[in-house]
Amino acid sequence: MPFDNQVVLITGATGSFGNEIVRQILAGYKPAKIIVFSRDELKQYEMSQRVSSPDVRYFLGDVRDKDRLYRAFQGVDIVIHAAAQKQVPAAEYNPFEAIQTNILGAKNIIDAAIDRNVKKVIALSSDKAANPINLYGATKLCADKLFIAGNAYASRDKTRFCVVRYGNVIGSRGSVVQLFKEKAKLGTIPITDERMTRFWITLPQAAEFVTDKLKIMKGGEIFIPKLPSMKITDLAKVIAPECKTHAIGIRPGEKLHEIMFSEDDAHSTVDVGNFYVIRPAWLKEKIKYFDHEKPVGDRFAYSSETNDNWLTADKMKDLLVKLKLL
């Protein structure tokens, strides 16, 4: 069991993902301790009112502060790195701030984890890191590269690093679901482009994917779940069927369709059933890494537009009702 008798530290743990994975760890495992590491004291206080387990500790700090990370990582076995500045428009307008958190913060995590003998570090990425066109995606791609290289940087030390990359999280703070629900009150839903598609994953699914990959990671992998796509216009119809839609145009740094990995990564990517793995570059192709793995093919790209798995309006409605978002 990945968390039993382990000290687990989660950066950015007061966010949507952090709250969910803390809930899942407490419900399904027996950790020695969970450390909630974040910089917002109000969110930590609010979370402590909901999560009162004696196994949870709250640690104020910022991933930009290496000294604070060194203190926090003392005695830690597993780090789940979820802290990031992830709002695309904010990153475009405040580029240095995004770089400080998403790139230099990643470097600090790597250094502190190796020097404090953390066993495993799993970092959360984004579909926007594949062929990025905005600063947020570029910083996440850079962070991905840093974490993968961290395995070589650690050399013979025991610290291993991997990355998980997934799409839009349904119902997370600031998600388009929340935006559409707010705009529905005004009678019109703004759509950037009627052709737009996105990958979708729920918070419980995202947390479970991280847990599952902690069990099998060897170091250097980018794990990518197979997810359904959905047209943004179908989502608007599900949330507010009585409302009109209004096309406002794609915003700066926004893609028409998202991609998890491109043809450029296909040569090192394998299909492992319900997920893909971009294998570490230092592995020779003839070495089998996972049971039942098979190459995806040199021309394959995993795009929300060409995906063969789609969420219909009815399926999305059922999902939103189940998640109590509708």
Q: Domain for residue 178, yes or no?
A: no
Please list, residue by residue across 25-47, b when 16 or more beta carbons sit within 10 angstroms of its beta carbon and e when fewer do.
bbeebebebbbbbbbeeebbeeb
- Tens of pLDDT, residues 264-313: 999 999 999 999 999 987 766 556 777 788 999 889 999 999 999 999 88
State the CATH number of the domain containing residue 57.
Answer: 3.40.50.720
> Is the Cβ–Cβ distance between 220 and 148 less than 8 Å?
yes
Structure tokens at 301: 């790209």
Burial of 124 (0-12, 13-18, 19+ CB in 10 A): buried
The answer to whether position 89 is within a domain reads yes
Q: Cα 39–182–174 angle (5° rounding)?
A: 25
On whether residue 313 sits in a domain, the answer given is no
The number of distinct structural domains making up the chain is 1
* pLDDT at site 286: 58
**Cα–Cα distance, 71 to 65 (Å, whole number):** 10
Measured distance CA(119)–CA(142) in Å, rounded: 22
Residue 154 lies in a domain: yes
Can you read off the two tokens belonging to residue 248?
A: 């406002």
> What pLDDT does residue 261 have?
96
pTM of the model: 0.94
Whole-number pLDDT of residue 14: 95
Tens digits of per-residue pLDDT, 34-56?
Answer: 999 999 999 999 999 999 899 99
Q: Using 70 as the pLDDT threshold, list the residues of the chain that sit under it.
A: 1, 174, 283-287
Both tokens of residue 20? 């969910």
With respect to residue 20, please indicate whether it lies within any of the assigned structural domains: yes
CA angle 229, 233, 237 (to 5 degrees): 110
- Domain span at 85: 7-169+201-226+259-302
Catalytic residues: 128
What is the predicted pLDDT for the residue at 80? Answer: 98
Assess if residue 39 is contained within a domain.
yes
Give the integer Cα–Cα distance in Å for 193 and 245: 10
The reported pLDDT for the residue numbered 27 is 95
Give the pLDDT confidence score for residue 116 in this predicted structure. 96
Model pLDDT, residue 283? 67
Output the CA angle 206-101-262, nearest 5 degrees.
55
Q: What is the pLDDT of residue 285?
A: 59
Compute the distance between CA of residue 159 and CA of residue 180 in angstroms, rounded to an integer: 42
In a domain, 264, yes or no: yes
CA distance 214 to 144: 16
Q: Do 202 and 167 meet the contact criterion of CB atoms below 8 Å apart? A: no
